[in-house]
Amino acid sequence: MASRHALKEGVRRLVRDEVGTPAPHGGHERVALVYPSPYRAGMSSLGFLSIYREIHGAGRGVERAFLPDDPEAYRVSRTPLFTFESETPVADFPVIALSLAYETELLGMIRTLELAGLAPLSEERPEGAPFVLMGGPLTFSNPLPLAPYADAIVMGEADELVNQVLDVIFGTEGREARLDQLAAIPSVFVPARHGDAMPPIAKASFEVLPAWAPIRTPHTELSDMFLLEAARGCSRGCTYCVMRRSTNGGMRIVPMETILGTIPADAKRVGLVGAAVSDHPKIADIVERLADEGREVGLSSLRPDKLNDRFVAALKRAGYRTLTTASDGASNRLRDLVQRKARDNHLLRAAELARAHRMQRLKLYLMVGLPEETDADIDELIGFATELSRIVPLSLGIAPFVSKRNTPLDGLPFAGIDVVERRLARLRAGVKGRVELRVTSAKWAWVEWILAQGGRAEGRAVMEVARAGGGFGAWKRAFEALPSERPRRTLAVVA
């Protein structure tokens, strides 16, 4: 088991390999910005890194910490969770700010606070404990399971709001007074004041866009990639998606000149981020310009109806080897049901473009377990995937459907672990030897659904999961122990 010295040396190696890390500010207004998943995931999060830049830009001493790859090594060596910049224990900071992207990161959040030496539940932290502030992509949908743990939660786009919140925290004496003042700020959810009534989602002004990441590192899936927004939000109306056009006024386009002018001269790899990057009206021009400069480019989303010969040629020149897009539903009928505009002809064209430009393969993301799905839809997928695989090698990335709050499909039940697994088995048998499948576990999707549709009780149940080791059996027992008559919660059949 690693010693305290070895754990710190491992962090120092990561920091030495970073590019762009700013020197911490001094002073008493210090914030530990914590990502409740490992460094590799946290440093791939544009939102996390952009908020780091915003806090640092206001002259505050912000430092990063992450859930360790091996939390047990910290426990055994009695090493408190510490920051990357100065190796200061997280519990020594007056404010701990956590960014959560996914429902299942609640478990990481609890473990992170425990490693820092803090009681995860806000009611168990004494008056002088650090103020625990939360935010992140999860707040666009349902942050209510966070309520037992957070002192305050910033809802939605925190670019401008985060420093306003910190002004109140640092400028107000006493916990109760802080909570009162924060509760008066629109889009700040204070569980001790608001109950279960969550305020509206914040929308940043266009002037602060685009978000961009100040730090690059080789130690992520997006190795050494400079991340920035090409657009924020989406103009489309997919009914399952939290970021559909009704969220925060739809899509806000960042001008091409702003995007190109923000990229550092030494950045050899550029990641353009957004819910609908390929809907940017100048996206082909942007990728062509970056390819002309000898840079590799990655896009966070490609819509099949936006793919054409010029665009795919530019992607190939910019380093693409796999053309990745999404069909979402297993059949045309299901895509119509969720208002997804991808049609068979768009996907066939994507396969033909991938072959024409000598891509190694086409990868499609889709969901299984959508409302009204039947075996006939899976059979249609088998036939269509087989057709695509004759054009270009094909991979399917499959996730079970999970209904989210703040979407038109909010409140729909989970299809059932047994149902999803049966349909996945049917799909595997139908495409065996022809199509590669990469599947998200139906069991973990069920856990995500419980939290996505849950409230404070479901959030508190995650404490029991943490104590029981975090395996699926612990999640199942913790959720099934909750009162069955809880609103919005119907247990799926668990095989």
- Both tokens of 273, joined, read 């981020």
167-to-5, 28, 30, 62, 194 alpha-carbon distances in Å:
36, 12, 12, 14, 21
- Both tokens of 179, joined, read 């909570």
- Both tokens of 379, joined, read 């059979």
**Percent of the chain scored above 70 by pLDDT?**
98
The residue behind tokens 């004759």 is: 390
Domain locations in the chain?
4-194
CATH 3.40.50.280 fits 4-194, yes or no: yes
Q: Is 250 exposed, middle or buried (0-12, 13-18, 19+ CB in 10 A)?
A: middle
Rounded Cα gap, residues 22 and 8, in angstroms: 19
Q: What is the DSSP letter of 273?
A: E
- Both tokens of 181, joined, read 């003042």
For the segment 257-282, the average pLDDT, to the nearest whole number, is 96
Q: What is the DSSP letter of 255?
A: P
99-to-66, 133, 247, 480 alpha-carbon distances in Å:
10, 9, 20, 28
Q: Quick check: 488 pLDDT over 80? A: no
Mean pLDDT of the chain: 94
2-44 residue pLDDT tens: 899 999 999 999 999 999 999 888 788 999 999 999 999 999 9
For the segment 427-442, the average pLDDT, to the nearest whole number, is 96
Could you tell me which of 327, 405, 331 has the C-alpha nearest to residue 371?
A: 331
- Distant-in-sequence, close-in-space partners of 289: CB < 8 Å, separation ≥ 6: 260
Cis peptide leading into residue 264 (ω within 30°): no
Count Cα atoms within 13 angstroms, Cβ side, for 30.
Answer: 19
Q: Quick check: 495 pLDDT over 80? A: no
Q: Quick check: 417 pLDDT over 70? A: yes
Q: Quick check: 489 pLDDT over 70? A: no
Rounded Cα gap, residues 387 and 385, in angstroms: 5
* Band of residue 215 on the pLDDT scale cut at 50, 70, 90: very high
Could you tell me which of 247, 251, 238 has the C-alpha nearest to residue 340?
A: 238
Beta-bridge mates of residue 436? 395
Rounded Cα gap, residues 338 and 407, in angstroms: 11
316-359 residue pLDDT tens: 999 999 999 999 899 999 999 998 888 899 999 999 999 999 99
Could you tell me which of 345, 364, 362, 363 has the C-alpha nearest to residue 354?
A: 362
pLDDT of residue 246: 78
Q: Is 399 exposed, middle or buried (0-12, 13-18, 19+ CB in 10 A)?
A: buried
Rounded Cα gap, residues 284 and 314, in angstroms: 7
Torsion sign, CA atoms 293, 22, 129, 2 = positive
136-194 residue pLDDT tens: 999 999 999 999 999 999 999 999 999 999 999 999 999 999 999 999 999 999 999 99
Using alpha carbons only, give the angle 319, 325, 327 rounded to the nearest 5 degrees. Answer: 170
